[in-house]
Structure 1
Amino acid sequence: MALRSLLAAVAVGGAAAAFSAASSVTSPVTTHLVMPLVRLLDPETAHVMAVRVAASGLLPTTRADAHPSLATTVWGKQFSNPIGLAAGFDKHADCIDAMLGVGFGFVEIGSVTPVAQPGNPKPRVFRLTDDRAVINRYGFNSFGLDYAHDRLSERVADPAARGFQHGIVGVNLGKNKTTVDAADDYVQGINKLGKFADYIVVNISSPNTPGLRSLQGKQELGALIDRVLVARDRLGLPSQASAAVRGRVPPLLVKIAPDLTPADKEDIASVLMDKKVDGLIVSNTTISRPATLKSPASLTQETGGLSGAPLRQLATETVRDMYTLTQGRLPIIGVGGVSTGDDAFEKILAGASLVQLYSSIVYDGPGIVPKIQSRLAELLAENSFTSVSDAVGAEHRGFRRK
C-alpha cells in the first residue's frame, strides 16, 4: 500500500509538472513521459489520478473547432466535431471542462445512480495491454445524484471561474444495485439532472449490475421508456424548468449492449421507433471474449465488460444493424474500439452520427483526440464528403471508401 501511495504521488506530481510544461496534449512530453508514468499504477488508481489531474486544470487545451469540416448538427444542437468522451471516464461530473478543453466535441458523464454506492469489490479494472483493451466490472460506482447535481450547478453558476468550455454535455443515468423498480431510478435521475443535460442517456446495458440487461427485453423496455419519457417531457414545463431550458426538453437516448441476438435488435428498434425515442448509443462493453485476444488467460477471463480494440468490429456491426432496423431515422452514437480516425470514419459510414471513445485514452492519453480528428478530416476530404453528416450511413447507400 505504501508503494502504491508513493507511485500515485509521483504520478500526480509528474503529471502536474509535465502537463504544465507541455504546449499541447499531443506534446512528446505527454506521450513519452506522462502516459508511461501513469501506467506504473494499477488501472483504477490511474483512472482516479487522471480525473484529478484533469479536474485540477492542468491539462493543456486544444481547439475543438480546428477542422471546420467536422462541425455537425444532431438533434438541432451544434457539435464542433463528432468525437466525444464516452461515459465511464468522468463518472461524477468532476472534469467536464478539462475534457472539452482537450478537444472533445462533447462529454458524457456518468453513469450516475440515485444514491451513492461503492460498486463491486476491488480489483475490478484490468488492462489487457497486448490487446489495447480493458476489462472492467466497476458496477456503477457512483457518488450519487446529489454530488453530480452540485458539480453541474457549480459549473454553470460561475463559468468564468471554473474554466468553462463551450460544448455538449450528456448525462448518463444508471440504477442502484438493490433497486427493484428500475424505472423509478431513471426518473429520479431525469428530475435531478435533466436541466443540465444537452442529452440524457438511459443506460440499460452495463453487464456489471445484476438484471440490468434484462431491461432490453421488448416489454420491459417499452414500460421503462413510457415512464422516463413522461419525466423527460415534464422538464419543459415552466413549473419544472429553469429559464434556460423552459420550453425545451433534452433528447432521450438508450444505450444498448453489443451482445444482442438479431431478434433482440429487432425488438429494441421496434420499441424505440414506436415510443419516439431520440437516439441510440451503440454500444456498451461486451461479455464475449474474442478468440483473437493475445493477453494471458488470467486477464482475459476476468469477469466484466471488455472494451477497447477487440470490441471495434462487433460494435460497428451493431451500429450497422441498428441503423438498418431504424431506417436511419434515429441518430446513433457509435462507441467501441475507436482509437484512430479510420475507426471513427468506419462507424460513421456504418450509420453513426457521432462517435465516442474512452479506452484509447488509457493507452494514448488525451493527445489521441486531435489526432483522430485530423485523420477524420482527411478521410472526409479524400472521399469527397463536405461534412460529417454527408458521410453518415453512406455505406448503406452503396458508398465504398477510397
Structure 2
Amino acid sequence: MTTRSFSSPLHRGVSNATTRQSLWQRCPPHFLPDPVKSARRSLPLSIRRISTSSQTAPKVSSWSSSHTPRTTPVRSSLLSNLRITLLTASVALTLTLGWYYVTDTRSGVHRLAPRVLKAVCPDAETSHEVGNAVLKVLWSLGVYPRERGRKGGGEGGEGLGLGVVVWDSLLDNPIAISAGLDKTASIPDALFALGASIVEVGGVTPLPQPGNEKPRVWRVTGEEGMVNRYGLNSLGADDMARQLRRRKIDLGITDNLTGGEEESERDASSVSVEVKNPGSLQEGKLLAINIAKNAKTDNDDTDAVIEDYVTCVNKLGPYADILVVNVSSPNTRGLRGLQTSKPLTRILNAVTTAASSIQSHKPKVIVKISPDEDSPEQIRGVCEAVVATSVDGVVVSNTTKSRPPPSALPSSSSSTILPQPGTEILRSATDARALAQEGGYSGPAMFPKTLELVEKYREALDEATVNGRRKKSGGGKRKVIFASGGIDDGKKVLQVLEAGASVAMMYTTLTYQGVGAVGRVKEEVRGELEAWREGRTEG
C-alpha cells in the first residue's frame, strides 16, 4: 500500500470543499491566525457560502416557523408594564404611609427624638437650638409633625369637645405652649400644628442682648425638670417684627408690598383687621408675645423701664393677639422688684394705653408674675394693679428660684421615670449639680405650688374686681388666669381649670416627651371628662 505524507490543505491549494469545511468547523474564523483568515478570504465565493452555512445553527422547520404565535412580544410587554406599575404603586404607597406616620405627633418615633437629641447634643441649650432648627426645616418642607385625629373644638361626632371661651374668643382647647420654646418667633406655626390653641413666643427685649454667659441651661433628668439662667437672651424687637411680618407675607395675608421696609411693615399689620385672630392668623388659636425690658435699663428709672415695654408694644403689638408683660424672670437682676404695686401699676397702665392705640386691633394684655413673691400682701398688690389698669389677666407663674424636695414630686405625673405614689427618689449626682446652679427651676415638682397660686390669685382677682367696681376705680370683666408650671398630664390640666384658670400652659414637658406631648395631654383631658360624664350619667 502506498503511503502518502500529510500536508496541510492550505499548502496544497485545497481543492476539497469538505476538508475546508471540516477545518473551519474545528477552528472558527475568529480564532484562526491571520494567515488562515487570509487563505479563507482567497477561496471561491461558493465555498465560503458553504462554510458560513455550515456554522450557523440549524433552522427550525418551516411549519414551526410559520406557526410561531405573534402575541408573545405583546404579552411580554404587558407583563413588563404591569410589573412596573405594581412596583411604582408599592413605592408610592410605602412613601405615603411613611409620610403619614412620621408627620403624626402620635407616632412613637417622636418620643425617641428628645433622647436622640440628648445623646447627640449633651448640652441642653444646643439640643434646644438643634430641635428648633429641625422643626423649622420640616415646616418649610411640609413634612412637619402635626396633630391628627380628634383635635378639640365643640361637641360633635368625634365625642366630647375641648373648646373653651377665653375673653371673646372660642379656642379649640385650653392648652398653651409657654414662652422660651420659641424665643425668636421663628416656628409659631409649627408649634400651633402640634395642637396647642395658644403659642407664646419670646421673651423679647427692645434691643438685642446676649443674655447670661454659657452654660446656662441644665437638665434635671431624674424628675424631668430643668434649671435655666438664660437672662432673656434676645435678638430684639425689630428682628421679631421682621419674622412675624415675613410670616404674614408667606401665608399670603398681605399684598401690594411695594414700598420700603417701614411701609411694608405698616401694610402687613394693617390687613390684620380682616383676620379673626390677627396674631395667630388661625381660627380658634391665639398668638402671645412675651415682652420684657433690657437688662441694662436701670430698674430704679421707672420712666426708662416703661419706655422699654412701650417700645415692644409699638413694634410687636400689630402681630400679637396677646401681649405678656414679663416682670418676673428670675435671671434678670432686679426685674422682680417691678412686681411691687406702685411701679407695676405705672408699667401696666402705659402698656395698656399703647396697646389700645394700635390701629389694626387691640391685643389683650396680661402680666406674668413670680411664684416666689407669694405673700398675701404681694398677691393683693399685683391684683389691685391688674384691676386698676384694666389688664386682661395674669400668668401664674414663671420659673422659681426655690428647689422643691424630691418628696414634692407629684404622684400623678405621667412620666415613666418619676417615682410611684408615696415614694421618694434619690437624686443623682448630675441632677444634684444641676439643681445647685443659680437660675429658675421648672418641671413637674412645681405643680403643687402652681395649683396653690392659681387658687390664691383667683380669689384675690375676684375680690379686687368687686372692690374696683364698687370704688369705680377699675373692674370690668372677670380676669383670666393662665396656669403655668409643672403641668404634664390631663389630670393636672383639669385641676388648674377647676381652681380658676382658663388656660393650662406647657413647656418643660415638651423638651422631655417630644412634640406629641400636647396631643397626649389633650386625649387625657378628654378621657377624664368622658369618665366624669359617664359616672354622672350612671349616678
TM-score by length of 1: 0.85
Partner of 1:39, secondary structure, is helix
Any gaps of 5 or more consecutive residues in structure 2?
1-97, 155-160, 254-279, 299-303, 408-426, 464-477
Check whether the contact 2:103–2:144 (CA below 8 A) recurs between aligned residues.
no
SS in 1 for 2:505: strand
Q: Are the aligned partners of 1:92 and 1:109 in contact in 2 as well (CA < 8 Å)?
A: yes
Q: 2:532 aligns with which of 361, 383, 391?
A: 383
Q: Give the match's secondary structure for 1:324.
A: helix
Deviations 1:115-135 (A, max 9, x none): 111100000000000111000
State which of 293, 305, 310 in structure 2 corresponds to 1:182. 305
Give RMSD over aligned pairs.
2.2
Aligned counterpart in structure 2 of residue 346 of structure 1, from 486, 491, 495 = 495
Quick one: distance in 2 between partners of 1:258 and 1:295? 26
AA partner of residue 206 (structure 1)? S
Structure 1's consecutive aligned runs of 4 or more residues displaced over 4 angstroms after TM superposition are: 18-21, 163-166
Equivalent position of 2:322 in the other structure: 199
What is the letter of the counterpart of residue 49 of structure 1? V
Structure 1 gap ranges (5+): 1-17, 236-240, 386-401
Identity %: 34
- Does structure 2 retain, via aligned residues, the 8 Å contact 1:97–1:164? no
Write the distance in 2 (CA, Å) between the matches of 1:217 and 1:348. Answer: 27
Q: Which residue of 157, 171, 177 maps to 2:249?
A: 157
CA contact (8 A) 2:483 2:501 kept: yes
Change (3 A) 1:169 1:357: same
2:124 aligned with 1:43: yes
Structure 1 residue 54 and structure 2 residue 135: aligned? yes
**8 Å Cα contact 1:25/1:59 also seen in 2:** no
- Cα deviation, residue 384, structure 1: 3.9
Distance 1:53 1:160, change over 3 A: farther
Find 1:287's aligned residue among 401, 408, 421.
Answer: 401
* Secondary structure of 2:406's aligned partner: coil
Distance apart, 1:361 and its partner CA: 0.7
Query: Which residue pairs with 1:391 in the alignment?
Result: none
Specify the SS of the correspondent of 1:383.
Answer: helix
Cα distance in structure 1, aligned partners of 2:521 and 2:498: 16
One-letter identity of the residue aligned with 1:253: I
Matched, 1:25 2:105: yes
Q: Offset of 1:291 from its aligned partner?
A: 2.2
Report whether the alignment pairs 1:258 with 2:371.
Answer: yes
Shift of the 215–295 alpha-carbon distance from structure 1 to 2, 3 Å rule, reads farther
Deviations 1:12-65 (A, max 9, x none): xxxxxx988614112111213x22111121110111011111211142211483
Query: Does 2:181 match 1:89?
Result: yes
Change in Cα spacing, 1:170 to 1:126, as seen in structure 2 (3 Å) is same
Asked if residue 173 in structure 1 is aligned to residue 309 in structure 2, the reply is: no
CA deviation after TM superposition for structure 1 residue 164, in Å: 7.4
Question: Secondary structure at the residue paired with 1:46?
Answer: helix
| Distance across 2 between alignment mates of 1:20 and 1:52 | 21
Q: Name 2:520's counterpart in structure 1.
A: 371
Aligned to 1:143: 235
In the TM superposition, what whole-angstrom CA distance separates every residue of 1:144-165 from its partner, at most 9, and x where no partner exists? 111100111011123159x976
Q: Which secondary structure state, in structure 1, belongs to the residue aligned with residue 462 of structure 2?
A: coil
Residue 202 of structure 2, aligned match among 110, 113, 131: 110
What CA distance in whole angstroms lies between the structure 2 residues aligned with 1:114 and 1:171?
13
User: 8 Å contact 1:323–1:332 — kept in the other structure?
Assistant: yes
- The verdict on how the C-alpha distance between 1:223 and 1:257 changes in structure 2, with shifts beyond 3 A counting, is same
Within 2, Cα distance between the matches of 1:127 and 1:114? 29
The separation in 1 between residues aligned to 2:293 and 2:103, in whole angstroms, is 41
Contact 1:20 1:60 (8 Å CA) reproduced: no
CA distances 1:297-337 after superposition (whole Å, capped 9, x unpaired): 31111000000111111111111100011128211010101
Q: Which of 326, 329, 344 lines up with 1:221 in the alignment?
A: 344
SS in 1 for 2:400: coil
**Aligned letter for 1:136?**
N
SS at structure 2 position matched to 1:94: coil
Alignment of 1:231 with 2:354, yes or no, is yes
Equivalent residues of 1:311, 1:336 under 8 A apart: yes
In structure 2, how many angstroms separate the alpha carbons of the residues matched to 1:66 and 1:353? 15
Q: Which has the higher contact order (CA 8 A, sep 6+)?
A: 1
Look up the equivalent residue of 2:124 and give its one-letter code.
P
Q: What CA distance in whole angstroms lies between the structure 1 residues aligned with 2:152 and 2:379? A: 37
The SS at the match of 2:210 is coil
For 1:98 and 1:381, the matched residues in 2 are separated by 29
For 1:357, the equivalent position in structure 2 comes to 506
Q: Structure 1 stretch 373-382 or stretch 313-322: which is displaced more? A: 373-382
Deviations 1:168-188 (A, max 9, x none): 101110111101221111100
- What's the CA shift for 1:73? 1.5
TM-score by length of 2: 0.64
SS at match of 2:482: strand
